[in-house]
Amino acid sequence: MPDKLDEIMAWKRREIAPVIRPVTEAELARVHAALPPVPSFASALRPADGQLGVIAEIKRRSPSAGDIAAGLAAPDQARRYRAAAASALSVLTDEKFFDGTLDDLRGVTALFRTEPPALPCLRKDFMVHPFQVLQAREAGASAILIIVRVLNDSEIAALYSAAQAAGLDALFEIHTEPELARAVQHRARIIGVNNRDLAVFRTDLSLSERLIPLFPRDVIAVSESGIHTGADARRVRQAGAHAVLVGEAMMKAADPAALIAEFRRP
């Protein structure tokens, strides 16, 4: 089977090539200082009451599930998730494969400015260049995604430094022990195990059970993908997850608040 992630990344690099430009950390710091502050993504994943953090994802489609919610208005879904007591949001901004745009992120964060309180938002996209970090900060994101597998160490370092200069957190996504070692080498503060193999889109929660216990004690641990029930959430929480990132199940939930409550039930 062809590697879907390689296909996505090849497209992403071609897609952004016409618009990217050099971006310095000094520019990112100036933009960060000039824009309204954003809520902390990292703090939201470890609530003071010790509950499981729930990152609720806004996505209209995916290569694995096909159409999930075609035509969905991202701000409307953000309202539903906030009312359901989500800890943070993940907003897909990739158009070709996930039917998302930066305007979705802009719309959600604009909603939170006019109708507080705000939830921290992760820009969920295939990040390869600091210019995308600038876009994320200007759109009101609190964090970016760094997929360790698809980036070399220079690219990871550039993205992480750019995020820090822009006042953003970074979620390092891993799928194997060597990728975990690389994330730790870059001093990642938040690491997520993607239980879905993005090469073939097969999901296995035992990945979180195997990898999260290997995390440094001070790292915030996130389990991503394949979490549909309270039993799934309890499995990864027992492995040490501080938070879960849930997309398809949250998008399809008739009652997001009940689902989040089930995720958090001991």
Question: For 9, phi and psi rounded to 5 degrees?
Answer: -65, -40
Token pair of 170 as six digits: 């970074």
Q: pLDDT for 108-148, tens place per residue?
A: 999 999 999 999 999 999 999 999 999 999 999 999 999 99
Fold entry, domain 4-16+38-264: TIM Barrel (3.20.20)
Question: Residue 1: pLDDT above 70?
Answer: no
Token pair of 72 as six digits: 């969905």
Q: pLDDT for 180-234, tens place per residue?
A: 999 999 999 999 999 987 666 678 999 999 999 999 999 999 999 999 999 999 9
Q: CA-to-CA distance for 27 and 249, rounded, in angstroms? A: 39
Instruction: Answer positive or negative: Cα dihedral of 80, 86, 89, 90.
Output: negative
Q: pLDDT for 137-178, tens place per residue?
A: 999 999 999 999 999 999 999 999 999 999 999 999 999 999
Domain range list for the chain: 4-16+38-264
pLDDT of residue 201: 67
Q: CA-to-CA distance for 261 and 27, rounded, in angstroms? A: 42
- Over range 43-67, report the average pLDDT: 91
Token pair of 248 as six digits: 């398809």
Question: For 202, phi and psi rounded to 5 degrees?
Answer: -105, 140
pLDDT of residue 179: 97
Strand partners, 90: 57, 122
Q: pLDDT for 46-56, tens place per residue?
A: 988 889 999 99
